[in-house]
Structure 1
């Protein structure tokens, strides 16, 4: 951190998760950098919405931002019923996280592809190759997080990165969605 400070760093990016003590870095930053949002602590999905990160950062948890490579389902009106039903069925707040509805949608993609492959096999067990082909052909499937599909390279057509911010020093507090960035227009293909 001394080198970062000497080089004039305006933020610190941490590319790990909370388990190896990554968010303790945020607590230690207080000794060298202006506290809170004046010097952001940035990370990826390894720290996003993790109560352990906020607990480790302690009083310096303001200004923690994390990027997650997916659509924030909570911001999608069409996902409200699915989210409500999930939370009613699975009551623990630890059961619902940034990837919950993405996993739900991924299951829907696989289910629809299996259905098409079985139909293509005349109602019999399809080959793995036909299931793989049907997954790749998914386009515009209605999902909780929006339309689902894949491009010719096999990448998702839902190209969004969500940015979250820790709110206060209470590890139980939900992180705020700061922004959702659609990066599809910036891709070279």
Structure 2
């Protein structure tokens, strides 16, 4: 009898032990990633681009079944609408902090990114902006602030060199929308033009980011006969501005940063877009070796959403993947656990190699110059920031 009972008891104990250990073997941890960008208002198409790129990354991570610290990770994206408004931006930041997100992709605008960054820093939550270019963002001393695009100093210098060296401009007018991004980029551009010499700033004008009528400032500019008009702002304003430039007979070329350099600009500008009339720079880009991967991402995006990416989706995608890489390197998903690894990360993204300097800026940042031909955004050249 004993010989029968003992094996049976051993089997029961083995089954009980396996049942007790099963939840541990399949333990899961939810990692919530915040996405903050304008999902309403004039910049909604650019903000949705950020959300879409981040969502693609989250879905791919879930498909991989990643294990960190012995636990399978379920990745969750929490998108929030900051309306391109600084007050909404801080409210959204606090909401994400209260939700216990592990990291944040955002914001789009410099004017929302900077005030929000203080809240993330206070909570110890890492933030990667896929779009904000103001130098101030990474100069506040926050160990939580990073970006995967070039900053305004680099973009302003590059565009000034293009305006003077390539477009041969002698007389340049500058307009900005008085936002942190628009004014900051315009200031850097004007400073670089003056430093380079060979061209004069003949007019400096201001508008706002929801303006639709530019007749007064463009009339003043027309009297100065500029070769180039630089605009610091977003495409929602640049499109109507191009229409009014055409109506006033202004033949000047328009030079701008990545806020203007979108796939939607042809729709916003109509036939005023012209051929090679706009020269703009996106604060990122890939060299020839990375073009295939970048193009493949663009095709995956188009197949998923049914329309082409605007500008920032691949940078938002890479931001999420960089967070994931840092968590895997640290074998930790809590912000305090993976933040040191994030500062040291080396990641090959669809936008190129990603590593951060001591401030949180992208090392060896690239810029991509574009123009518009036959109603399509056309790549001209990738530059390394100098």
TM-score range (shorter-chain normalised) is: 0.7 to 0.9
The answer to whether the aligner puts 1:177 opposite 2:379 as a matched pair is yes
1:67 to 1:137, Cα distance in 2 relative to 1, 3 A: same
Conserved 8 A contact 1:73-1:145:
no
> 1:86, 1:100 → 2: CA distance?
9
Aligned to 2:307: 93
**Normalized against structure 2, the TM-score is what?**
0.39
The answer to whether the aligner puts 1:29 opposite 2:245 as a matched pair is yes
Aligned to 2:370: 164
Conserved 8 A contact 1:138-1:149:
yes
Conserved 8 A contact 1:160-1:181:
yes
Aligned to 2:294: 79
> 2:243, 2:296 → 1: CA distance?
38
Aligned to 1:114: 327
Conserved 8 A contact 1:73-1:79:
no
RMSD: 2.4
Aligned to 2:260: 47
**Higher RCO structure, 1 or 2 (CA under 8 Å, sep 6+):** 1
Higher strand share: 2
1:84 to 1:22, Cα distance in 2 relative to 1, 3 A: closer
> 1:66, 1:100 → 2: CA distance?
18
Conserved 8 A contact 1:78-1:144:
yes
Conserved 8 A contact 1:69-1:162:
yes
Per-residue CA shift, 1:34-65, capped at 9, x if unaligned? 3xxxx2112222221242x3234232212122
The answer to whether the aligner puts 1:61 opposite 2:263 as a matched pair is no
1:128 to 1:6, Cα distance in 2 relative to 1, 3 A: same
TM-superposed deviation, 1:136: 0.6
3-state SS, counterpart of residue 166 of structure 1 = strand
Conserved 8 A contact 1:72-1:98:
no
The answer to whether the aligner puts 1:9 opposite 2:222 as a matched pair is no
Conserved 8 A contact 2:227-2:253:
yes
Size of the aligned set, in residue pairs, is 165
Aligned to 1:137: 344
Conserved 8 A contact 2:235-2:261:
no
Per-residue CA shift, 1:126-184, capped at 9, x if unaligned? 54223221111112x2222222111122211141111221223x4xxx3001222111x
1:50 to 1:142, Cα distance in 2 relative to 1, 3 A: closer
| Structure 2 unaligned regions, length at least 5 | 1-217
Conserved 8 A contact 1:49-1:164:
no
Conserved 8 A contact 2:287-2:382:
no
The answer to whether the aligner puts 1:154 opposite 2:360 as a matched pair is yes
Per-residue CA shift, 1:111-131, capped at 9, x if unaligned? 01011222xxxxxx5542232
1:12 to 1:26, Cα distance in 2 relative to 1, 3 A: same
**Normalized against structure 1, the TM-score is what?**
0.74
